[in-house]
Amino acid sequence: MANSARQRTVAELTACVGRLWPWLVKAEGLCLVAGLLSLAPLAFIMLVYDRVVTSRNAETLVMLLLLMLLVYAVAEACEWAASETLREAGALLDHRLAVRCFGLVYTQRLSSPGAGAQPLSDLHGITSFMSSPQAAALLQLPVALVCLALIAWLSPVLCAFALGGMLLQGLLAYLNERATQVPLQEANRLASSAQRYAEEGLRTAEVVQALGMGTGVRARWARDRFAALALQQQASEAAGPIQAAARWVASNTMTLMMALGALQMIQGELDKGRSGIFIAALLSARAMSPLLQLITGWRSVVNARDAFARLSLALQDHLPQERSMPLPAPAGHLKVENLVASAPGGGALILRGVAFELHPGQLLAVMGHSGAGKSTLARLLIGLWPAMQGKVRLDGVDVHRWNKAELGPFVGYVGQTVDLIEGSLAENIARFADPDPALVEAAARAVGIHDTITALPLGYATPVGPGGAFLSGGQRQRVALARALYGHPRFVVLDEPNASLDEAGDQALLDALQALRQRGTTVVVVTHRPGILRVADRMLLLHDGAQQAFGTPQQVLVSINQALAAQQRAGLSA
């Protein structure tokens, strides 16, 4: 089943583009009509030279001029319609994949914390290319075949010469690709790295400024930025002579075509009228125009191709979650089975052999020194990170595999780093769903921030700013706690929830935890402060990623004291 799903998803992006076939066919048809109409001036030249000039008929000239004005108008309308059709196709592709790519960014960030928003950038690059002149040039290639056919009608020799010029341009396009592919790919990678580093530096601007880190941060950013620019310059220097050669071939092919046509007329081998040599030269120029445009705009072609490849691979590696039968709301029975885990992507083990069980309404305090694996355990408990071995089960279901959109309303979580999302206080507390005023107020009251919010001029409509920048650290912590408690969750995990709280905030937190227990909510609190033990039913002590003790707080504290006493006796005897 998994293999078949993967095979379907390998072509997910290709399939989405394939559904745009009606738009692409329409655009191709419009481009073909516009391209054929662009050949009308050639017929005008032929008629003027061979009919009007010889007959000296002014009325015919006027009629031809009026007809040409109409042809130009229709050709421009077709080109505009083709451009709009391609733009609509790009917008439709964006509409079909934007939400998927947005979710993909979140999935990548969970498995690789340093990941950026590359899928969204790649999707934008693909849709932008679809309405670019280079995309239109690709659609104009069939017109080049029509031009060759017309040149062949005029003279097979001139057709062979024009075809040779096109093949030479194709060779130049290949050389251009070989010369620019590697430096452009590396330049794009470094540019993305520099962009991510710049965003990270701006996010921590206060720390950077306060600690005088600006010079070092700017130097680190400039290293990747300038390296990317140098590689782009290298690609431009390599492509410059090739592009100049392509333009030279296009210009001289037209001139040589006229010379060869004149020679054929002298030798009596070209009998399509005196305008034949001009027609053949202009047809060759028209045939080479799409190729020349592709070569000169090759960077955009390469960028779109690389974006397509990256996005296809990303969609393949992060399969959408298959729809399954909805599970009932959890009661809060938590069972951790021999948990072994490391950070996503591998590395040293962080947790080893952690196992315990909690029943609904029980509160577990997780304690241990820094680096003991407490925050990793918190992420595993709510299914953010996968386990290498073992399972975290909520009501018997693997939490990591449980659909988060389905499980989320029954779970509360506050991470070690409190990050709010730009929006109002009500939106943040309500998890950006339609806020229920009663539930929002109940959650705010539970953590003791309701009075603070109502004292603000806009109340719950007050914007928090990017990342909650308009709030103090304690206020952000309380809003995050209110968000975790919104909607009466059945399972709550809090990682250092009182790190930024004052004494009043601590008491409000203890009252909220006590209320959760009374409602039958299972609670796990990662903390360094022993005050939590007053409301805890169980205590878990971690040491260097291993489970050192688990039981009631009294049992764990007794075992710790016994271990310390044994160590002291061993030291004295030594």
Task: Kindly report, residue by residue over 426-450, the tens digit of the pLDDT.
Answer: 999 999 888 889 999 999 999 999 9
Same domain? For 96 and 168 the reply is yes
Does any domain span residue 227? yes
Q: Per-residue pLDDT for 5 more than 60?
A: no
The band of 119, judged by pLDDT with boundaries at 50, 70 and 90, is: confident
**pLDDT value, residue 574:** 52
Nearest CA to 360 among 394, 406, 404, 401?
394
Does any domain span residue 357? yes
Q: Per-residue pLDDT for 74 more than 70?
A: yes
Q: Per-residue pLDDT for 254 more than 80?
A: no
**pLDDT value, residue 3:** 46
The band of 9, judged by pLDDT with boundaries at 50, 70 and 90, is: very low
Does any domain span residue 113? yes
Same domain? For 293 and 410 the reply is no
Q: Where are the alpha helices (DSSP H) in 38-132?
A: 40-47, 53-55, 58-111, 118-130
Report the alpha-carbon distance of residue 320 to residue 542 in Å, rounded: 35
Q: Per-residue pLDDT for 46 more than 60?
A: yes
The band of 2, judged by pLDDT with boundaries at 50, 70 and 90, is: very low
**pLDDT value, residue 276:** 65
Does any domain span residue 466? yes
527 neighbors 364 (Cβ within 8 angstroms): no
Does any domain span residue 322? no
Q: Per-residue pLDDT for 144 more than 90?
A: no
Same domain? For 91 and 150 the reply is yes
Three-state DSSP class for residue 574: coil
Q: What's the whole-number average pLDDT of the chain? A: 83
Same domain? For 377 and 238 the reply is no
Same domain? For 295 and 436 the reply is no
pLDDT tens string 193-237: 787 777 777 766 766 676 677 777 788 788 888 888 888 888 888
**pLDDT value, residue 273:** 53
Same domain? For 311 and 353 the reply is no
Which of 317, 348, 377 corresponds to the end of one domain?
317
394 neighbors 491 (Cβ within 8 angstroms): yes
Q: Per-residue pLDDT for 8 more than 60?
A: no
Three-state DSSP class for residue 182: helix
Q: Per-residue pLDDT for 10 more than 50?
A: no
**pLDDT value, residue 179:** 84
As a whole-number percent, the residues of the chain with pLDDT over 70 amount to: 89
C-alpha atoms less than 13 angstroms from C-alpha of 201 in its C-beta half-sphere:
19
Same domain? For 555 and 513 the reply is yes
Which of 317, 344, 370 corresponds to the end of one domain?
317
Of 3-7, 283-287, 390-394, 511-515, minimum mean pLDDT range: 3-7
**pLDDT value, residue 63:** 80
Give the count of domains, the chain: 2
Three-state DSSP class for residue 361: coil
Which of 291, 317, 343 corresponds to the end of one domain?
317
Q: Per-residue pLDDT for 506 more than 70?
A: yes
- The H or E element spanning position 205 is helix 205-210
Residue range 144-153: average pLDDT? 82
Three-state DSSP class for residue 520: coil
pLDDT tens string 319-335: 666 655 677 888 999 99
pLDDT tens string 169-197: 778 878 887 888 788 888 888 887 787 77
pLDDT tens string 392-428: 999 999 998 888 888 888 999 998 888 888 889 999 9
pLDDT tens string 280-310: 777 777 877 887 778 777 778 888 888 898 8
Same domain? For 152 and 252 the reply is yes
Same domain? For 214 and 338 the reply is no
510 neighbors 344 (Cβ within 8 angstroms): no
Please tell me which residue, 487 or 42, carries the higher pLDDT value: 487
* CATH number of the domain to which 49 belongs: 1.20.1560.10
Does any domain span residue 327? no
* CATH number of the domain to which 343 belongs: 3.40.50.300
Q: Where are the alpha helices (DSSP H) in 271-337?
A: 276-296, 298-317
**pLDDT value, residue 271:** 59
Residue range 261-288: average pLDDT? 71
Q: Per-residue pLDDT for 570 more than 80?
A: no
| Region label for 520, one of left (φ > 0), alpha (ψ between -120 and 50) or beta (otherwise) | left
Nearest CA to 357 among 380, 384, 338, 385?
338
**pLDDT value, residue 513:** 92
Q: Specify the pTM.
A: 0.68
As a whole-number percent, the residues of the chain with pLDDT over 90 amount to: 24
**pLDDT value, residue 416:** 84
Residue range 12-18: average pLDDT? 83
Range picked from 238-252, 359-373, 458-472 for highest mean pLDDT = 359-373
Q: Per-residue pLDDT for 562 more than 70?
A: yes
Q: Per-residue pLDDT for 4 more than 70?
A: no
Q: Per-residue pLDDT for 115 more than 70?
A: no
**pLDDT value, residue 344:** 77
Does any domain span residue 2? no
Same domain? For 92 and 121 the reply is yes
State the residue range of the domain holding 393: 334-573
Same domain? For 73 and 185 the reply is yes
- The H or E element spanning position 491 is strand 491-495
Concatenating the DSSP letter of every residue in 392-453 gives EEETTEEGGGS-HHHHGGGEEEE-SS----SSBHHHHHTTTS---HHHHHHHHHHTT-HHHH
Does any domain span residue 309? yes
**pLDDT value, residue 162:** 81
**Count of C-beta atoms within a 10 Å radius of residue 518:** 9
Same domain? For 258 and 359 the reply is no
Please tell me which residue, 107 or 551, carries the higher pLDDT value: 551
